[in-house]
């Protein structure tokens, strides 16, 4: 099975999806960056990728390095795992240099900010054409694009059944716009 996953390193739901999808040994996942910073920007219409004030934004740098590791034939899987772990599971904030160093550990030879941001902008535009609005979004096919939010990482023996359920809904549930599990309020009496 092959699926494109649009993600942002800053997104906790994307990190949970990373753990879930990594547990599916036979899955071929194409991780594609989607900038939540760009998606949620409310300024003059100039993309954040083109604004000087965002040139060193860690979320954009992390996604741009992702695309540069891909373009340079590095170990994208290793970079993705390390970047998510550094962002969500380790203390401290990441600097631009920290992020570039994680890329170098995965085979990045040279980080070109302009090329990285251009690749990131192109991926973002492709995602927007599919209707992606948040992360993580799974694209199983042209009309099978679903936004998924996990409250927790499924235990390993639940990863496959969850994948099958999500895939089935994506394929056959095209009339289903949104499905959300409701949590009853706690009674405090």
Rounded Cα distance between 156 and 151, Å, is 15
Task: For residues 128 and 105, give the distance between their C-alpha atoms in angstroms, rounded to a whole number.
Answer: 31
pLDDT of residue 187: 63
pLDDT at 173: 67
pLDDT 10s digits, 46-77: 999 999 999 999 999 999 999 999 999 999 99
pLDDT value of residue 120: 96
The answer to whether residue 14 is domain-embedded is yes
Domain residues for 122? 2-172
Give domain status of residue 188, yes or no: no
In a domain, residue 177? The reply is no
pTM of the model: 0.91
Q: What is the CATH number of the domain that holds 102?
A: 3.40.30.10
| pLDDT at position 185 | 78
Number of domains the chain is built from: 1
Does 61 fall in a domain? yes
Residues of the chain with pLDDT under 50: 189
C-alpha–C-alpha distance, residues 171 and 146, integer Å: 10
Q: Contact 3/56 with Cβ under 8 angstroms?
A: no
How high is the pLDDT of residue 85?
97
């Amino acid at each position: 099975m092959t699926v494109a996953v649009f993600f942002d390193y800053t997104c906790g739901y994307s990190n949970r999806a990373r753990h879930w999808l990594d547990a599916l040994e036979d899955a071929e996942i194409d991780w594609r960056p989607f900038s939540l910073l760009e998606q949620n920007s409310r300024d003059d219409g100039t993309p954040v990728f083109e604004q000087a004030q965002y040139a060193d934004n860690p979320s954009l740098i992390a996604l741009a390095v992702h695309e540069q590791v891909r373009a340079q034939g590095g170990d994208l899987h290793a970079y993705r795992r390390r970047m998510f772990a550094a962002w969500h599971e380790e203390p401290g904030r990441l600097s631009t240099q920290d992020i570039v160093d994680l890329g170098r550990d995965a085979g990045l030879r040279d980080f070109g900010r302009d090329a990285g941001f251009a690749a990131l902008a192109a991926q973002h535009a492709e995602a927007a054409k599919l209707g992606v609005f948040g992360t993580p979004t799974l694209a199983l096919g042209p009309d099978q694009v679903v936004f998924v939010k996990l409250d927790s990482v499924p235990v390993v023996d639940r990863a496959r059944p969850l994948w099958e359920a999500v895939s089935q809904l994506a394929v056959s549930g095209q009339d289903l716009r949104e499905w959300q599990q409701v949590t009853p309020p706690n009674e405090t009496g």
